Structure 1
Amino acid sequence: MGALRIRKQTMWSDLPEHLMERILECLPVDCFFRFRAVCKTWNTLFSSPHFNSIARNSQPFLILCPAKTQLPSLIYSFITHTWRTISLSFIPHDCPINFRGSASGLLLADINANVFFGFNSSMLCVCNPLTQTYTTLPQMVFVSRIMAKAILPAGNKTEEYTVMVVGRSSSDKVIVEAYNSTTKTWKVAGSIPDVIIRNENMFFCKGSLFCVTATGGIMAYNIEQEITTIMAMPTADAENLSIRLVCCKTGVFVVGATEDNHCLKGVIMWELVSPKTSMEDYKWEEIGKMPSSVCEEFRRSSNSNWFECVGMGDKICFRANESMEILLYDLNKSSWNWLPKFPADLRYVRMRCLPLEIMTGTEFS
């Protein structure tokens, strides 16, 4: 028996590295944690440049994050077509947490410290669900009241990222402040015209930050050129639409929901089309509508007209309030499909949907 155990150990230790990497590529996400814990060699292999290059080009996972990290999070694999639970309880905060964005396998968390410390206070945290590590960002230097925030990759290294915040300074000017993970410092990245942003969700695409303004327009801020463009909604009937902004790898989209007596009636989608040189010559192109039969089924899956949508890769994901199912729109195929239901015991948990790439390089101490 002892000889058999030694022979098995030798077999695994003698397996060529490229075969081990191929095996690693096929593992479901919840097995990554156990894989890393086997030995130092396997842990090093998990963080190899080859695996990160594979992960960078693979279909991202979809993660659903609850406001209370003591509750399990859900993650969906588009390869195995299965839901699995992962824990975010390594973030040591009992107060509610809003997850505001993702990039390079990292999640940007907004910890509601204002519940305890006042309206203008806020704690930002960046965490890696895969390595179960996190870091709390230092206090911003110039922004005293946050309006919107986003996380975006910086450079080609997986351990680098930037957090961008739009807010008001003590002198009531609207400025952009950026946190660099390499220097671990904040600095002013530009200023924008006086504008009120409707919600705190901000997206990065094609070198610009995008968000919805309180007056019903779309603001685009070019980071490199420090140019702000306010774009009108894609339809003159925008007042009767509930607008959601979505960013995918393929572009920027607006999802408009029509309602009647607080009941969802239809969903229309537009894509932003603009020259690479300037946002000034933009236009919106309607790319599709949710079929009435699909809309009826989507409406029946919830007890309210609220829903969220998130872009990932070449897809847009829709989730109705308290629904156990997610509706998927494929931008390339113009097709609608339902993902499998997730566990019924998590149905009533309010979650935020986000895309999650698998990037192993960032591990916070």
Structure 2
Amino acid sequence: MFRHFIDQVQDLVDRHGFPPPPPPVTTVPPLHDRWCFLNLENDLSKDGCYDLIMKTKKSKLRETPSKKTQKDQKHTENPNSNESMDEIWKHFPEDLYESVIARLPVATFFRFRSVCQNWNSLLHSNNFTLQCTQPSQPWFYTITHENVNSGAMYDPVSKKWHHPIVPKIPTKMIILPVASAGGLLCFLDIGHRSFYVCNPLTSSFKQLPARSAKIWSRVSVGMILNENSTNYKIIWVATNGEYEIYDSIVNSWTHMESIPDCIGLPLSLNYGLQILSANGLMYFLRLDPDGIVSFDMDKRVWNQYLVPVPPHSRDHSLAECDGRMMLVGLVTKNAATCVSIWELQKMTLLWKEVDRMPNVMCLEFYGKHVKLSCLGNKGLIMLSIESKMMNRLVTYEISKKEWLKVPGCVPPHKRKQMWIACGTTFHPSLTAIA
């Protein structure tokens, strides 16, 4: 093909001759330096066009710098870039600095406290704590069977477990979380003698004064925040009807008169459950007879409502969502076991089933004797379903009717999953003080 093309060009030149050369231009080289015909019969290395091509290629290679050269050039252009950035952070306004950190998720506080002493001291700054964003979802504080002396906290938003540093407890007895209010947790030792209040985020810790009543049997405990205040009250109720109220303002217990005879004594309470607090009232789930006992903390008035539990159900817990009274429990029929949710009908004082755990989750419990424990009782609850060979955790959001599996609680640098013994919910807060 090339030879045919050259023959055609040679034929045109023989007929018409070469075209006249263009006028010389100083900025453009002559035509014979820019164009040539390849001599395909001779060696290319001896052809003048070969020399021209090689010269042009070498000149382009010299003009295009390598990537390494470009990077080196950038570094040489800004030799003091690191020093300038250090100067910017050195003169960064302190108040703006706190505002940026205060908008981080609560879970990051565990990490940034270990950065330096200045960052750790921010937790004690009133300006910083007031700017901190409070999470909309509560967290879960739990105690495990393997390590009863330290807690584990679960964040349902990030779906991660946190293992905080527990403050030094002035007792060798095991303490368990029995109630919560806001960002504070209430603990009671297993001897039922001493109460403690703690903020698990800031390690703010306080031992409450001794109770005036010398009752060492199991008691049911509730906690409530004062309206528009950080102060709180704690109530304990015994089976014989005695009860006391602690007020954080005066830092003392007040022994009250016994529960009225109309309530019916002794009180058969589930002491493993947290008392439900809603709208200034405390609600207790009692047995024999089945029903609900309420107590108005301000008016000091007791009431009782006889509400039969649903048939074939057990392991009940009270919950509340948007003013609705809910009941959580296990329903067992033959070999099948399932978790059900009921709502109290105010007109009839009967429980109506409104939701049930999906069958896919319930299949794991088929033919097994399981025990249900409910952690928390408002909006979002955690269900601990335990048998001899397993411990499954599931969260249930009442408003959305959403069931979600919880990842296993595995402490740092360990592989074995720990089993949840008990726990409660709380709202993480840096401003709550025990």
TM range, smaller chain: 0.7 to 0.9
* 1:232 and 2:303 correspond: no
In structure 2, relative to structure 1, the CA distance for the partners of 1:27 and 1:242 (3 Å cut) is closer
Mark the runs of 5 or more structure 1 residues left unpaired by the alignment. 115-120, 276-280
* 1:252 and 2:325 correspond: yes
Cα offset for 1:45? Answer: 5.3
Q: State the partner residue of 1:105.
A: 183
Aligned counterpart in structure 2 of residue 62 of structure 1, from 108, 116, 140? 140
In structure 2, relative to structure 1, the CA distance for the partners of 1:151 and 1:188 (3 Å cut) is same
In structure 2, relative to structure 1, the CA distance for the partners of 1:161 and 1:36 (3 Å cut) is farther
Q: State the partner residue of 1:331.
A: 398
Q: State the partner residue of 2:92.
A: 11
What SS class does the counterpart of residue 287 from structure 2 fall into? coil
Counterpart-to-counterpart distance in 2, 1:69 and 1:132: 18
* 1:166 and 2:231 correspond: no
* 1:270 and 2:338 correspond: no
Cα offset for 1:27? Answer: 4.7
Cα offset for 1:179? Answer: 0.1
Q: State the partner residue of 2:130.
A: 49
Aligned counterpart in structure 2 of residue 79 of structure 1, from 131, 134, 157? 157
Q: State the partner residue of 2:227.
A: 155
The structure carrying a bigger helix percent of its residues is 2
* 1:21 and 2:86 correspond: no
Larger Rg: 2
In structure 2, relative to structure 1, the CA distance for the partners of 1:37 and 1:162 (3 Å cut) is farther
In structure 2, relative to structure 1, the CA distance for the partners of 1:89 and 1:19 (3 Å cut) is closer
In structure 2, relative to structure 1, the CA distance for the partners of 1:18 and 1:206 (3 Å cut) is same
Cα offset for 1:129? Answer: 0.8
The structure carrying a bigger strand percent of its residues is 1
Cα offset for 1:110? Answer: 1.0
Q: Which amino acid aligns with 1:306?
A: K
Larger RCO (CA under 8 A, 6+ residues apart): 1
Question: TM-score scaled by structure 1?
Answer: 0.78
Aligned counterpart in structure 1 of residue 246 of structure 2, from 155, 170, 179? 179
More deviation, 122-131/337-346: 337-346
CA deviations over 1:54-82 (Å, ceiling 9, x no partner) = 42x62111222236866542222233222
Counterpart-to-counterpart distance in 1, 2:219 and 2:427: 26
In structure 2, relative to structure 1, the CA distance for the partners of 1:196 and 1:269 (3 Å cut) is same
Q: State the partner residue of 2:199.
A: 128
Q: State the partner residue of 2:287.
A: 214
In structure 2, relative to structure 1, the CA distance for the partners of 1:36 and 1:21 (3 Å cut) is farther
Counterpart-to-counterpart distance in 2, 1:103 and 1:303: 35
Q: How many residues align?
A: 337
In structure 2, relative to structure 1, the CA distance for the partners of 1:69 and 1:132 (3 Å cut) is farther
In structure 2, relative to structure 1, the CA distance for the partners of 1:71 and 1:46 (3 Å cut) is farther
More deviation, 12-21/224-233: 12-21
Q: Which amino acid aligns with 2:294?
A: A
8 Å contact kept, 1:317–1:327: yes
Q: State the partner residue of 1:117.
A: none
* 1:38 and 2:113 correspond: no
Counterpart-to-counterpart distance in 2, 1:41 and 1:339: 32
Aligned counterpart in structure 1 of residue 381 of structure 2, from 287, 293, 316? 316
Cα offset for 1:324? Answer: 6.0
